A and B are shown apart, each in its own frame.
Chain A
Amino acid sequence: MDKSAKGRALVDSLYKEIVFQSYVASRLTGLPTAQVNRLIRNGLRSKYVVTGVYGFIFVLIMFATLTMSVDGRLIFPIEAFIWVFLLVFLPTLQLSYGASAGGQIREMLDTLPMTTAQIERLSARAILKTIDAPLAIAFSVLILGGILVGPLFTLSSVLGGVSSLGIAMLAILLLMRTFRKFNTTSRFGSVLRMVVVVPAIFVWVLTGYVANLKVVATSPTMIYTPILNLVGVSAGNSSALYLALIYTLIIGAVGYKSFLSASTLLLSPLVSTPQKAGRFKIRVRSQLASIVVTDLRQVVRSPRLIGFFVTPLVFVTILVYDLYFGGAVSRIGFDFVFLQDIVPFVFAISYMPYVLYLSELRGYSYFKILPVRNSMNVLSKMLTTLIVFFGLGSIMAYAAYLPLHSIYVFAAVYSLGLPLAASVLLTTVYFNYSINKMSMGVAGTLTSILFTVLNIIVLGIPVGFYYAGALLGAPPLMRVAYLCVASTVELIALLIVETRVKP
């Protein structure tokens, strides 16, 4: 084998190990070989799923742009900027969480007859390999799309894409540095992990801002403000072009350096801060409370799981803004808001029990030797989920109440607790089923899709009854009653199924 082929083979195995560590190993140990192989395959495949999704989004943006007015089209490079950022930022962040075994990988590499520089280059290439396909598709669409819309667009959107890459890499490096400064068990570390998604949310909210942007290609903003002046580039302004070339070069270089440092950091051991000895306090709780507390602790400390936890929070923030400050309720009516915003919020929360079971799985073989009744465990998951729902739901209901001044709003929002409880039972059945199949809660794509469909049905039927009530002209509280009756029936049915499927 010649030298470059050897390098490629090493990058390949390194890439596989990184994917394994970040998608699989952080979840479990002691799985049979066939399972591990399947999980690695799923991990490797997920890159192509992401590629497909992003390819679709980019094509969509491109066509949307084509349908716009000549001025409207000018925001194309900024859309490119936003989506390239999300494309790079989210998967790389996910990678940096999972690779807590990065230190071991690095130690193994250090025993190979290579220089440090070679090892670092190799690591960088392996990490790049985790996002190469989605990046390639994104830039291909940008270039091809640019050609369709106009050659200036190719130039501006590629500049936008490159700056975006650079900024994403810098953001990741800074986040990783900060993470490593704090112990996982510190409160501050937990808060930090929650705010980590903020850059992504911010950029996402930017899409709304950009959509409403008044595009005047000749305004000073569109010529001299970095990123925004990509509009000027698309319009053919040469000052904007020179400026954009300069900052893209700088950001690109900084981003490249950041990427190299981040990939080295990713594969280096975590140093835990020394502890002060002595005082400790043991607080014994009830069985139920201790499971709930432990569940919450684990979720909050796992950067991967906390994402699920934060999603509903983001929903509430956007919604409260929309309902209260944006006046959506008075504009489009509560029934519509209920369907469009509040039900999806409940849908987002309905994935929490799954996340909780998953966190339990990390200590699963241990959890299994504890004398916990299955019913007690289900109860704890339900309690945690409902606590989160009623907490966040109250904020949302209150935001809707302010313009409407009708207590009925609270009844409608709270009644969704019932189908949510039914969804917890569904999740339990699904989870125990996956465990029985020895797929350990990391079920195949097909079962996951099936679960999502069933979950939509479980939440959808009661909501359907609510709207059936509305169509039949039932008064608001009567509609809520329909919803409650339908979900109670579901709850009982699922309870019967649940007691039949033993873990």
Chain B
Amino acid sequence: MFVVDDPLVVDGLVVRYGAKVAVDGLSFRLRPGEVYGLLGPNGAGKTSTIKAILGLVEPSSGSALVYGKRAKDDPVYVKSKIGAVLENPVLFDSLTPNEFFEFVASVRGVRDVDRIRALIEAFDLQTYMETPIAALSLGNKQKVAVVAALLHSPGLLILDEPFNGLDVRAVAIFKDILLKHIEKGGAVLFSTHIMEVAEKICTRVGIIHQGRMVDEGTVDELKQRIHGSSLEEILLKATQLEKDVAEALKGLG
């Protein structure tokens, strides 16, 4: 019997840095066609979760299965299934975007040069193709990282704060690409603290706080359950940061 495995199954994931517990028993699942938003304040454990999925840090317990496999057991399989944009992507500074895309395409075995070209033009990078990545603006670096993540038409896109520094045009195109991607049965996991974006494109969101899942569901479900009108309000309520904010404001006088 053939089992079609889901793009991502995270089960009881724990990530520790020494004594610090960054992710504390997190579980969630992504089905094909879903855009899942991982929401949470700074330090909630979003990046650590993503790193564990990619195999960049080893979980202390629990697991993350990408199309049925753990990064630890079959890193090449997992990495070929994922397209990732990491937080503060460290690219190859001395290469030009042109050389960088050549490198990523070659390593990932992408032969479709027209697709690469189309992506470059969609993100308006043509004029920067010969500039060393080190000399690009933050937004353009981010675009380079996004294009590199999309080159091989991955099944699962993992994006850590992907809208950092992107301009309006790029965000619009990016959203469009995400929608096309899930229409074709792909899945997207992304972390963000920009609520409008999450509200518009997520099919489901998980709110995490101090490494734990506080609440999970569609945006509408959460609105009803927590009695908030916007995702931002829901986040503040769910993570009980509302009181914090009030106190901080009082302190500032």
- Contact residues on A (Cβ < 8 Å of other chain), bracket: 35 or more
Any chain B CB within 8 A of the CB of A284?
A: yes
Inter-chain contact A365/B105, CB cutoff 8 Å: no
Within the complex, what minimum Cβ distance (angstroms) separates A357 from chain B?
A: 14
Residues of A contacting B113 in the complex (Cβ-Cβ under 8 angstroms): 282, 284
- Contact residues on B (Cβ < 8 Å of other chain), bracket: 35 or more
* CB-CB under 8 A for A371 and B132, given A287-B107, A290-B102, A298-B95: no
Interface centre among B99, B109, B117 (most CB of A within 10 A): B99
Residues A274-294 near B (CB distance < 8 A): 275-278, 280-287, 289-291, 293-294
Inter-chain contact A284/B102, CB cutoff 8 Å: yes
Main secondary structure of the interface of A (DSSP, over half): loop
Residues of B contacting A475 in the complex (Cβ-Cβ under 8 angstroms): none
Residues of B contacting A293 in the complex (Cβ-Cβ under 8 angstroms): 103
Within the complex, what minimum Cβ distance (angstroms) separates B89 from chain A?
A: 6
* CB-CB under 8 A for A369 and B94, given A283-B102, A284-B113, A287-B109: no
Inter-chain contact A365/B96, CB cutoff 8 Å: no
Residues B39-64 near A (CB distance < 8 A): 54-56
Any chain B CB within 8 A of the CB of A46?
A: no
* CB-CB under 8 A for A277 and B107, given A184-B94, A282-B116, A366-B91: no
Give Cα distance in the complex from A364 to B99, angstroms. Answer: 17
Within the complex, what minimum Cβ distance (angstroms) separates B202 from chain A?
A: 23
Q: How many A-B residue pairs have CB under 8 A?
A: 118
Inter-chain contact B106/A185, CB cutoff 8 Å: no
Inter-chain contact B111/A280, CB cutoff 8 Å: no
Residues of B contacting A372 in the complex (Cβ-Cβ under 8 angstroms): 76, 107
Any chain B CB within 8 A of the CB of A384?
A: no
* CB-CB under 8 A for A371 and B79, given A287-B106, A362-B93: yes
Inter-chain contact A277/B94, CB cutoff 8 Å: no
Given contacts A291-B103, A362-B93, 15 further A-B contacts (CB under 8 A): A32-B17, A184-B94, A185-B99, A185-B130, A272-B132, A278-B127, A282-B102, A283-B102, A284-B102, A290-B107, A291-B107, A294-B103, A301-B94, A363-B93, A371-B75
Residue ranges of B at the interface with A (Cβ–Cβ < 8 Å): 17, 54-56, 75-77, 79-80, 82, 84, 86, 88-96, 98-99, 101-111, 113, 116-117, 120, 126-132, 134-135
Complex A-B: 23 CB contacts under 8 Å:
A28-B90, A185-B94, A185-B95, A185-B130, A272-B135, A275-B128, A280-B120, A281-B98, A282-B98, A282-B101, A282-B116, A284-B105, A293-B103, A294-B103, A297-B95, A297-B99, A362-B92, A362-B94, A364-B90, A365-B89, A365-B90, A366-B92, A373-B76
